[in-house]
Amino acid sequence: MKTKHIDNPLTSQQVVDHYFLEHRAKVIDIAAFLDRVDRAGGMVSLGTDHRMAALYEALDVLSDWRGDRAGRILAIFSNNGAELTRSAEGVKGATGAARKEGQYL
């Protein structure tokens, strides 16, 4: 996925100074969510739930030190299939992450 580079009027240090606390809170929120999953019975997640598999894959992207993290994470959660769903029967709503080919139910 190609993204257009947009010049940032802020320096890296200014970005950190301005946005760090907001994003620190988001990371703590994710950690709290994962703790709740653990307390509710643990690793139901990776082996049986495509959303949790996508979340852990996205967390890996955050720590790989490569660029375009937002674009790559959006791709993880996106449905890139060419097939359109013919019916919404049995679908209660969006799940937030697409199942990949051959992935568990």
Over residues 51-104, the pLDDT tens digits come to: 888 999 999 999 999 999 999 999 998 877 667 666 656 555 556 666 665 554
Taking the chain, what is the end-to-end CA distance rounded to the nearest angstrom? 27
Residue 20: the pLDDT is 97
